[in-house]
Amino acid sequence: MNIIKCSDADEIAQKVSEMIINKIKEKPNAILGLATGASPVKTYKKLIEAYKKGEISFKDVKTFNLDEYYHLPKSNKNSYYTFMHENLFNSIDIKEENTHVPDGNPADADYYCKEYDKSIDDAGGIDIQLLGIGRNGHIGFNEPSDHFTSGTYKVSLTPSTIEANRIYFDSEEEMPKEAITMGVESILKAKTVILIATGKFKAEAVRDMVKGAVSPSCPASVLQKHPDAYIFVDEEAAALL
């Protein structure tokens, strides 16, 4: 694990976007694994700037997102489909057919999840997987449990995650209690993994991920085993390291 301590979220976005920009320059048809949430937003802004300056093009890039709320319509303002279009896809030259956000409303979830993993493998596998981290150490929506998960699957969210993400919804009832997420094994298959953690609410999860045992009680700790993982932390998130 490479731990990169930065002074703030802006420095993280600068460094992470540079890594992604360099990958796209070296491999214009790069496969990116993308994340939602607040953590990657500044990085996406930097990628949009690089595109607008003509530094990179996304016309041959393919993307696969980590997760999506289950049974939330795509058109909902809080769907990850909407998030990705508003924060990145609508502002770059990526082809809609090259973007993949898990379908939160599949007819047959088990079948759909297997197909999602297959489509990642068929595309050649993820070159760079971007991640945030939940306050309880989750990555994607892989919640703490007694085992590491494998491929994409439907998951029940923990009370901690429901509480953390509930602020985006008008009421608790509207906040989905389940999601479709790439599994830990799907995430580990990425050639390079970049995780961003900022703010004091992430300090304990960051400590457990970096200094704790590799354990499904902190799913992000599995990144200790990844051969090319970069953990970008600001001062508050690094406070307990």
Which residue numbers are catalytic?
67, 136, 138, 143
Q: Closest CB to ligand GLP among 44 and 141?
A: 141
Examine residue 231 and tell whether it contacts ligand GLP (CB under 6 A). no
Residue 181 zone, left/alpha/beta (φ > 0; ψ -120 to 50; rest): beta
Q: Does 67 bind ligand GLP (CB under 6 A)?
A: yes
Of 16-24, 92-100, 126-134, 147-155, the window that binds ligand GLP (rule: CB under 6 A) is 126-134
Least distance from C-beta 8 to ligand GLP, angstroms?
15
- Does 35 bind ligand GLP (CB under 6 A)? Our answer is yes
Contacting residue, 33, 104, 137, 140, with ligand GLP by CB under 6 A: 140
Query: Nearer to ligand GLP by C-beta: 132 or 144?
Result: 132
DSSP state of 6: -
Burial class (CB within 10 angstroms; exposed 0-12, middle 13-18, buried 19+) of 147: exposed
134 binds ligand GLP (CB under 6 A): yes
The site that binds ligand GLP (CB under 6 A) totals a number of residues, namely: 14
Tell me if 141 contacts ligand GLP by CB under 6 A. yes
Tell me how many helices (H) and strands (E) the chain has: 7, 10
Transcribe 165-206 into DSSP letters: HGGGSSSTTTS-SEEEE--HHHHHTSSEEEEEE-SGGGHHHH
Among 79, 87, 161, 186, binds ligand GLP (CB under 6 A): 161
Q: Which string of b and e fits 19-50 if b means at least 16 CB within 10 Å?
A: ebbebbeeeeebbbbbbbbebbbbbbebbbeb
Q: Is 132 in the site for ligand GLP (CB under 6 A)?
A: yes
- Residue closest to ligand GLP (Cβ): 132
CB 140 within 8 A of CB 67: yes
Binding site for ligand GLP (CB under 6 A): 35-39, 66-67, 132-134, 140-141, 161, 165
